[in-house]
Chain A
């Protein structure tokens, strides 16, 4: 399996989009490119499973290593483990769905799809990089397309939100950069290579400096409290596909970076700061949940609930147990699919009713049966109904947290559990208000989902239901990789 394909295919799609002539071609080229990418990712998944089943025990599979800047020991080094495969699969699903829901975009179509695919290049590259320099390169590639997507195609106070997002994410990546340079200069040999750095012993005092820099930096991306403030503004101003990718993929860059770079490379630092991470993430979970209760705008509801849900990712990482790590990754995948679908549905509703205020909607179930049914499923997934992916993820995180026998962790876990009740309150309230009750006369002419919207919804629903019904395959995929990270922590 040639992993460079994962970067090349979206890149070629992006360039092809610029070269074709009319809107129709742009859309189809994007669709075909994204579909090819999904197929490649499915193949990757199958090959990965086969290789592991055949007894390949190396940590990273399908590695490719070329020199890039040999003078500085920077390499083009890619490879995947179970966590990367899961994230890459998530990315391909969300991008395809994002292409489909933006089918009706009229303003500067070419530029829109170009930026969308450029963003995808950043995400794919980030998840498969094994060289910190490359990882950082792709992390930053993904920032500016978001800025332009929000600023040009967004709604509401879009310029403000776009600026806030770009600056906060860049500040996060600036911290990552400093931490990364710290790691570069610690070893006997100067290297950015993830595997080489993980093999060297980094002095504890350096770990204590670099860990907070890296974790905070990536934390900004994944909405670590108190650096979450870009999330509600950014998500609510972005165009539908923008919000989907922002919440579905972009926030996961942060979680993945925290786990893969900060915790894996700096285990001593992780142990030292674990309690702070746990406290901050629980604040994020509860704060996000309570703030969501007060929201009246559907996009804000989902944006704040994303803060709450991504808190579970960070909580799982902060718990430093194998099960909790696995749960964190499952939560990333699950939340990615779920929130992307949620935003897609909100976009579909908004396109028809031209409002996102739940107060102004009622009885839409009669007119939009497909869209509202999807809204129900995704809402249930969000509040953790068994049988859907959200439940699996949260339970795994809680189980991992419960492995700590001391009072502090127990209390924290109970507090985090309580947020589920709050989630149920706001989700049920929003859904029931939108779907039931007397139908507003102005909505009587609305049409249900078109083929592209149905396809997008089905793709994402497929993921949510598969994970919910048969979580073991995802679990088996992630667990060995989590095991390796755990060994670093216990082995010192």
Chain B
């Protein structure tokens, strides 16, 4: 029992928070301001609890597995949730169903925790469903907007479809090997055509979740329709969680087939980067823009994943930590502007620096970090991903990845240019922000600058792998 409590501490904490929120909801109606403060404190506790009593171990006949690296990954996701609660305070305070939103989000987080910890394909499937279905409800939270329902509908259909494919893949694996346990699979995976077929199905399901091209078509529509808080959750937290388990599955379970999956990862990485970048070039809506940019970022994560080494795991975890800070900050600025002025197009940002220098610098920092410009952390994140990928001495692949960095710089600079350089007679007026939003942005900015320059964070993650 004691072991159970210690090992499953992150999941238990999240569950307790969900129950607390449920009880608050059942009781006397409280004001949103107070409720949001309570939620923020609870999420901070959740994040802080991730630093203590982390042990390695298995539960339920190795259905559930945890170690220090997994604990660190969970902490990154908790941090992301905490930042979301700070950054989108404006929207939350206006929302009529604040508690429900967080209950859904935390349920999804709970699913992701189990997902990262799963040691068995059954567990994997169940937790993936738990991590997906609440998100569809979150995407539908702008109840009066038709586009929001449309996005939610697309998301739920795509999720159902990919779950079907995933189940098919899992059953093929069981058929060919007789086991679905992660620990036992490497010994029986040989890479015969039947298993390759099963792997392709599994890979497809992952590709849907991480919006790898050609399974990315839902991304932009869902991002555009959903409220920003849900979008940022989808693009940062949910992608991060799937990337973590993707590494585990590839490196542990399918290690014997690494030559086969290496080629697949490289190919999809190239297509994903190029497609994401090319489509991002022409987007006008900032949400769609960020959607395609996040597709391109996934392509980069795949470059790191292709490395297949402890350094590759470190670089991916490190990159996702940086990605949490950079992408959330970018979404937060876009959300603040959108909620105050209703403007979501890049061309509306013209002359923004004149009226809102603080928001502009936050946006610039986060976009530079996404583009991989030093001294922001994104530079280090991208470079280490490339370093991990380059270990295979595949020059062609690395050159394409490096040149994609240049293409991506072009569209990030478009936003920068519109904010700093273009003249506008009627720029967006000075925006008054919630204190917690400002605080969250400062945390993000500090993260963007410090996580890169101070190398001990990288060393810490490296020591865990």
Contacts and interface: CB of A to CB of B under 8 A. Distances in A.
A70 B460 CA distance: 11
Contact of A167 (B409, B417, B459): B409
Given A178-B398, A181-B386, A184-B390, 9 more contacts: A69-B458, A133-B383, A137-B374, A138-B374, A158-B421, A166-B409, A170-B409, A174-B405, A182-B390
Residue of B405, B410, B455, B459 with most chain A CB atoms under a 10 A cut-off: B455
Contacts of B375: 137, 141
Interface string A213-236: 100000000000000000000000
A147 B399 contact: no
Contact of B402 (A70, A138, A177): A177
A71 B314 contact: yes
B409 A140 contact: no
Contacts of A152: 420-421
6 tightest Cβ-Cβ pairs between the two chains A and B: A174-B402, A181-B390, A71-B462, A151-B421, A69-B455, A170-B406
A293 to B, nearest CB: 33
A170 B406 CA distance: 6
Interface string B351-392: 000000000000000001000011100010001101100110
26 contacts: A71-B458, A71-B462, A72-B311, A72-B458, A140-B373, A141-B374, A141-B375, A143-B373, A144-B368, A144-B373, A151-B417, A151-B420, A151-B421, A152-B420, A158-B421, A159-B417, A166-B413, A170-B406, A170-B409, A175-B402, A177-B386, A178-B390, A178-B398, A181-B387, A182-B390, A182-B393
A185 interface: yes
A242 to B, nearest CB: 14
B110 to A, nearest CB: 32
B395 interface: yes
Nearest to A171: B406
Interface residues of B, number: 33
B395 A209 contact: yes
A17 interface: no
Contacts of B126: none
A181 B389 CA distance: 10
Interface in A394-418: none
B403 interface: yes
A143 B410 CA distance: 13
Q: In which size bucket is the chain A interface?
A: 35 or more
A178 B395 contact: yes
B459 A71 contact: yes
A68 interface: yes
Nearest to B420: A152
Interface in B127-173: none
Contacts of A137: 374-375, 379
A70 B393 CA distance: 22
B366 to A, nearest CB: 14
Contacts of B402: 174-175, 177-178
A275 interface: no
A47 to B, nearest CB: 29
Interface string A337-362: 00000000000000000000000000
Interface string A30-73: 00000000000000000000000000000000000001111110
Nearest to A163: B413
A162 B399 CA distance: 24
B314 A174 contact: no
Nearest to B396: A178
A159 B421 contact: yes
A241 interface: no
Nearest to A139: B374
B379 to A, nearest CB: 7
A100 interface: no
A185 B390 CA distance: 8
Contacts of B420: 148, 151-152
Interface string B394-422: 01001100110110011001001100111
Nearest to A76: B455
A69 B460 CA distance: 11
Given A141-B374, A147-B413, A185-B391, A170 B379 contact: no
A140 B455 contact: no
Contacts of A171: 403, 406
A143 B409 CA distance: 12
Interface in B442-465: 455, 458-459, 462
A181 B375 CA distance: 19
Contacts of A185: 390-391, 393
Interface string A180-191: 011011000000
B1 to A, nearest CB: 38
Residue of B384, B402, B417, B458 with most chain A CB atoms under a 10 A cut-off: B402
Contacts of B393: 182, 185
A140 B375 CA distance: 9
A147 to B, nearest CB: 7
Interface string A59-96: 00000000111111010000000000000000000000
A72 B458 CA distance: 10
Nearest to B372: A140
Contacts of B390: 178, 181-182, 184-185
A72 B384 contact: yes
A69 B459 contact: yes
A163 B410 contact: yes
A174 B413 contact: no
A148 B381 CA distance: 23
Contacts of A151: 417, 420-421
Contacts of A136: 383
Nearest to A151: B421
A167 B412 CA distance: 11
A166 B386 CA distance: 21
A447 B395 CA distance: 59
A67 B455 CA distance: 9
Contacts of B459: 69-71
B384 to A, nearest CB: 7
Residue of B387, B420, B458 with most chain A CB atoms under a 10 A cut-off: B387
A371 B165 CA distance: 76
A64 B413 CA distance: 36
A228 to B, nearest CB: 18
B188 to A, nearest CB: 33
Contacts of B455: 67-70, 74
A454 to B, nearest CB: 32
Contacts of B386: 177, 181
A151 B417 CA distance: 8
A71 B311 contact: yes
Given A140-B374, A144-B368, A167 B406 contact: yes
A415 B462 CA distance: 56
Contacts of A159: 417, 421-422
Nearest to A11: B375
A137 B377 CA distance: 11
